[in-house]
Structure 1
Amino acid sequence: MQQIVNFLIKYKNTLLFLFLFLLSVFFTIQSHSYHKSKFISSANFLTGGIYSWVNNIDMYFNLKEYNERLVDENKFLRENLAALSEKELDSVFLDTASYDAPYKFITAKVIANRYSRLDNFLLVNKGENDSVATDFGVITSRGIVGIVDETSNNYSRVISILNTNSAINVKLKKTNHFGTLKWNGKDPNIVQVEEIPRLAPVKKGDTIHTEGRSLIFPKGIPVGVVENYQLKNNQNYYDINVRLFNDMTNIGYVYLIKNNNQEEIKSLESNE
């Protein structure tokens, strides 16, 4: 303790200078919007770099699991190709060169993932320099993850489906009954679906996926399965708990989805 006191006494002038200097920098940043924006931009760049460095270490120790996911995805794609008739398959390959796909997919790596709060976000290593913009859907090979809400040059922030402000259109796979996917802030493996009417034939184990009416997600992106549900006598809509296909606590790589027709559709809707 005495050594600490002696150190403070010996370098009191230097420490006082550093304190006053940092204080002056703080007030300068707070009082000038230009300096403040530059500081925030630099801080985001530094934070993103740190997250990337830490995530690279984590990714190394999870390579086996990520490879298994890729194998599962390739298996799924091959099964779907095999299900096509020879005539349909020829049509797919012939049309690929000239077909203007409605959606564009961009791969990205998750470098930060929060899932223990009420309003959770992810950070991915693709941004405006990679043509990423707000309102891009985010998925993995297993299912839905969230929606891009902020971008910088090299990074993007994603509103997770584990966010109480998130609301995404979904439907029962076997019917056309649709509702809204939300989260009650409790279990990161369980989300809720609201507004499915009581006349819908809901059963435990039913699959939930995106219903395709939004401008963000294509139809048929998997979400999860019905864990349990409740319908009280005075209710017109089910209370449904859905177990996610994705393990939201362990996400490595994602796909960012751009709807190439989004601006055209928005323009028509605004004219209405």
Structure 2
Amino acid sequence: MQQIIYFLIKNSYRLLFLLLLSISLVLTIQSHSYHRSEYINSANSLSGYTYTQISNIKEYFGLRAKNEELAQENARLKQILFNKKDTVLNGKIKVPNILSDFTVLQARVIKNSYDKQENFLTLDRGSLKGIHSDMAVINDRGVVGIVDKTTKNFATVISILHTNNPMNGKIKNSNHFGSITWDGKNAGYVQLIDVPKLATLKKGDSIVTGAQSYIFPENIPIGKIDKIFIDKNTNKFVINVRLFNDMTNLGYVYIVENKKKREKEIVEAASEKGTTK
């Protein structure tokens, strides 16, 4: 204790200077918008850099698992190619016309939360690479989330594990659809609600994105039906869906932009406005 007191007395001028310097910096940042914005930008850049370095270390130790995933994905793609007659004969893939409506970018997850009620991810790409809000985020296993905000070099994503981020989903090979939501309980499951009782479904059926979505292409995998309930208030199905994705272990993702999103919004809004006259 005496040594601590002696240290404080001996360095009192230095400590007082550092204290006054810190107070002056805080007051300057709080009272000047320019300094405050520069501080926030610097903090965001530092956070993004830190997340990148941490992610690089984690990725280094996970190279074997990542290589195995890539090998599995290549095998799946080869199987698809080998079973397409036009691909075998011509050596070219015929791209469906619908794909011309979407652009696809690649990014890497450098931060990921999954244990909160409202979870977000951070990507190592931003507006400089063409990423902006309301773009779909997927990977080879299915839906991940929706881009929320961007800076020049980073983007945040609203995770599918978010209690206030509904998206359109449907039963695969069926026109019955509902809303994908999350009850905030289990990171391995989401819920498909508002499905009419006329729908034919069973445990194990696949759930995919629906055609009503402005953001996601149709038929992107989400998960499989695990349990089926009836909502007594709405008399509709509530379906517990086991996610295909392991949302606690995300690496590379694809960011998809629907180039006709705005056009679809305008025409549907015009129709709805006309019906209310």
Compute the TM-score of the two structures, normalised by the length of structure 1: 0.91
Q: Tell me if the contact between 1:115 and 1:248 (Cα under 8 Å) persists in the aligned partners.
A: yes
Please name the residue that 2:81 is paired with: 81
Q: Distance in 1 between matches of 2:198 and 2:149?
A: 39
Counterparts in 2 of 1:93 and 1:229: CA distance versus 1, 3 Å: closer
Q: Distance in 1 between matches of 2:78 and 2:52?
A: 33
Q: How does 1:171-190 map to 2 (within 5 A)?
A: 171-190=170-189
The Cα offsets for residues 226-249 of structure 1, whole Å up to 9 and x where unpaired, read as 111112666421121111000000
Give the share of equivalent positions with the same residue, in percent. 44
Q: How does 1:199-214 map to 2 (within 5 A)?
A: 199-214=198-213
Q: Tell me if the contact between 1:204 and 1:227 (Cα under 8 Å) persists in the aligned partners.
A: yes
Q: Distance in 1 between matches of 2:229 and 2:123?
A: 37
Q: Tell me if the contact between 1:81 and 1:89 (Cα under 8 Å) persists in the aligned partners.
A: no
Please name the residue that 1:72 is paired with: 72
Q: Distance in 1 between matches of 2:200 and 2:51?
A: 45
Q: Distance in 1 between matches of 2:38 and 2:67?
A: 40
- Aligned-residue offset at 1:138: 0.5
Unpaired stretches in structure 1, ≥5 consecutive residues? none
Counterparts in 2 of 1:190 and 1:42: CA distance versus 1, 3 Å: same
The Cα offsets for residues 133-156 of structure 1, whole Å up to 9 and x where unpaired, read as 011111110111000000001000
Q: Distance in 1 between matches of 2:177 and 2:132?
A: 27
1:221 partner letter = I
Please name the residue that 1:41 is paired with: 41
Please identify runs of 4+ aligned residues in structure 1 that moved more than 6 A: none
2:139 corresponds to 1:140? yes
The Cα offsets for residues 138-177 of structure 1, whole Å up to 9 and x where unpaired, read as 1110111000000001000000011111111010003111
- Aligned-residue offset at 1:24: 1.8
Q: Secondary structure at the match of 1:126?
A: coil
Compute the TM-score of the two structures, normalised by the length of structure 2: 0.90
Q: How does 1:1-272 map to 2 (within 5 A)?
A: 1-86=1-86, 93=93, 101-231=100-230, 235-269=234-268
Counterparts in 2 of 1:87 and 1:35: CA distance versus 1, 3 Å: closer
Counterparts in 2 of 1:213 and 1:81: CA distance versus 1, 3 Å: farther
Unpaired stretches in structure 2, ≥5 consecutive residues? 272-277
